[in-house]
A and B are shown apart, each in its own frame.
Chain A
């Protein structure tokens, strides 16, 4: 099972919006609406931001939103804040009854 494909890095200025893509295949993202997004700050455990492609857990800011088109999912962060600087990972359920993560994207807030 190959990892999902994410850009290695993205950047944006405070107040701007950025989008991180996550490309899979017809066996994972393209087949199920079970895409999640996680935020990981240095030396911290990952934190769930989005599940089921578009849903936010309780307590997660509405600045974070998710979407999907075909085999590609996307995470959009609006109104960038300094505290958003972190690594972001997508994941998806697959038709092999396994889960797969993306390679991760480092977000820099300029």
Chain B
């Protein structure tokens, strides 16, 4: 079964650092981009950025560029989303999702992780 399994819930204070993870299984992890999506409480989906696990090339939304870092370790089929200095406004559910195709001929996010809730509060 192809799946993405994310790390557990996090509670942090403003200014702290954090890294959450997304482990893929059941498919060739290096062959499909991974995207990260934010969903603030009661709000819609926002695209954060994506990574090609094969070469670690990344793209970020302008809204998130410089505030988060996306990385991957293909040897353990895991992608990461990290912050060096959290803000209260980072409180949200974060999902990872697999792009269904890397050839450029098709597009969509076909496999989603279960989500990682992040709470930032003093």
Contacts and interface: CB of A to CB of B under 8 A. Distances in A.
Tell me the interface secondary structure of chain B in the complex: strand
A48 B95 contact: no
Contacts of A32: 107
Contacts, number: 72
B45 A46 contact: yes
A52 B107 contact: yes
A12 interface: no
Interface in B6-45: 35, 37, 44-45
Tell me the interface secondary structure of chain A in the complex: strand
Contacts of B109: 36, 38, 46, 48, 91
Contact of B44 (A3, A34, A55, A93): A3
B104 to A, nearest CB: 9
A100 B108 contact: no
Given A1-B62, A100-B47, A45 B112 contact: yes
A101 B45 contact: yes
A96 to B, nearest CB: 8
Most interface-central of A52, A55, A87 (chain B CB within 10 A): A52
A1 B44 contact: no
Contact of B45 (A51, A96, A98, A104): A104
B47 A52 contact: no
B107 A45 contact: no
Interface of B: 35, 37, 44-47, 50, 59-63, 95, 97, 100, 106-110, 112-115
Given A34-B107, A34-B108, A51-B107, 4 more contacts: A36-B109, A51-B100, A51-B106, A98-B60
6 contacts: A34-B107, A36-B109, A50-B108, A51-B107, A97-B59, A101-B47
